[in-house]
Amino acid sequence: MSAARGELRGMRIRRVLSSLAVAAGLVAGAVPASSAPIVQGPGPGYFASDNVEWLGVLPLNTDSAGAHLVGKTFYITSSNSLRIFDVSTPETPVQTGILPLPQQPVFAEEDVDTNGRILLISTLRSLYIIDVEDKTNPTIVGELAGVDEHTYTCVLDCSFAYGSEGSIVDIRKPTAPKLVGDWAKGATIQSTHDVTEVKPGVVITSTQPMLMLDARKNPAKPKVIAQGSNPDNRFLHSNLWPRGGKERFLLVGGESGSGGCGEGEGAPFMTWDMSQVGKTKTFTMTDEYYVTDGLPTEGDMPVHSFCTHWFDPHPSYRNGGLLAMGWYEHGTRFLRVSKDGKISEDGYFLPTGGSTSADYWITDEIVYAVDYQRGIDILRYTDKP
């Protein structure tokens, strides 16, 4: 494509987004907040362990892989919009605002990041900076054309945006974002997918190998201070270090779309020991957990498209604990990490005709299971004695 044609296409896309943003403002101003259309009663079919209760499904965002909870506000994207929900009463979320925003179908922004004031979405060859302080009227306030990576992560309270493939964008002035660096420059890595700010100014990349970056002194040129790798060079999808890096174990998920989901076939959930980072500048895998294909009456599924996806630790996670993970056709898996990093399963929710992308703890008991086919399944988890 020539530069002139590319610029013309970009102008057309920006006109469409501008028009939709205006429309979103009109919609938000004209329609008062109301409870979302929760489907209850018999509802869509499912199988579940006895400690998981299905409360209903919100049949919106049926192609979403990206959400974020800040306080009592839930932000979620899809291929057509950004929606904002008040989840003060999590069983009946209330939509407060919507911003129509075209994104790639199925590949809408994953792991959307926000501090509750600024929200990041990259799509259609641009990074968009969205003002979400007014929960009834999210508004695009900045755009950086030509920058569109798989995910973007807020760093240093959304002063900078780190892209999954390396770009570093200065967003201290949200209306005028600037490309200022490349964290991947000079690094020998493969299979880039996501980055996570594990504590202020410290970032871990979901690459092979994983890199721990220190952005505290110079966010535009972060330093590699540690790394961890697998001998088999497996694909690493995402990572979280609970309690801002105060835990011994980093939590890491893979992703795979080939073979089965069992050991040697698919992708596992993993724990990585971070206790020697200060001495050896390395971290190593401790344990891995797979699911297996099987009968739904026994907590498994006979078919799958991919294995493992986004996960979320329980609010009480400390020295190990509970987490919920979206595992595509294998639904939501409730996993427990022991204080020595070993992984076991505590429960499951298997939707029929579903493909669970991500899970989010809204309270100590309520989980939103975001599904590519069904929307948002609302679950209540009761911890085992």
Domain range summary for the chain, segments of one domain joined by +: 14-381
Q: What is the pLDDT of residues 219-239, one digit of tens each?
A: 999 999 999 999 999 999 999
Residue 4 clears pLDDT 60, i.e. is over it: no
The whole-number average pLDDT for the span 317-322 is 97
Q: What percent of the chain has pLDDT over 70?
A: 89
Measured between alpha carbons, how far is residue 348 from residues 46, 271, 332, 367 in Å?
10, 20, 6, 12
Specify the pLDDT at position 10.
Answer: 40
The whole-number average pLDDT for the span 38-53 is 84
Specify the pLDDT at position 60.
Answer: 86
Q: What is the pLDDT of residues 79-99, one digit of tens each?
A: 999 999 999 999 999 999 999
Residue 175 clears pLDDT 50, i.e. is over it: yes
Q: What are phi and psi of 77, to 5 degrees?
A: -110, 165
Specify the pLDDT at position 43.
Answer: 64
Residue 14 clears pLDDT 90, i.e. is over it: no
The whole-number average pLDDT for the span 347-374 is 96
CATH number attached to the domain at 14-381: 2.130.10.10
Query: Which residue is associated with the tokens 């595992």?
Result: 327
The whole-number average pLDDT for the span 308-320 is 97
* 9 pLDDT tier (thresholds 50, 70, 90): very low
Measured between alpha carbons, how far is residue 37 from residues 26, 40, 51, 92, 180 in Å?
21, 9, 25, 9, 43
Residue 20 clears pLDDT 60, i.e. is over it: no
Mark out the alpha helices in the chain (DSSP H runs).
Answer: 3-30, 242-245, 277-280
Residue 1 clears pLDDT 60, i.e. is over it: no
* 385 pLDDT tier (thresholds 50, 70, 90): low
Measured between alpha carbons, how far is residue 121 from residues 70, 127, 150, 197 in Å?
16, 6, 10, 17
Residue 123 clears pLDDT 70, i.e. is over it: yes
Distance separating alpha carbons of residues 36 and 255, to the nearest angstrom = 32
DSSP string, 128-192: EEEE-SSTT--EEEEEEET---S-EEEETTTTEEEETTSEEEE-SSTTS-EEEEETTTT---EEE
Specify the pLDDT at position 383.
Answer: 83
Specify the pLDDT at position 15.
Answer: 38
Query: Which residue is associated with the tokens 């959304």?
Result: 158
Distance separating alpha carbons of residues 212 and 245, to the nearest angstrom = 12
* 41 pLDDT tier (thresholds 50, 70, 90): low
Specify the pLDDT at position 36.
Answer: 64
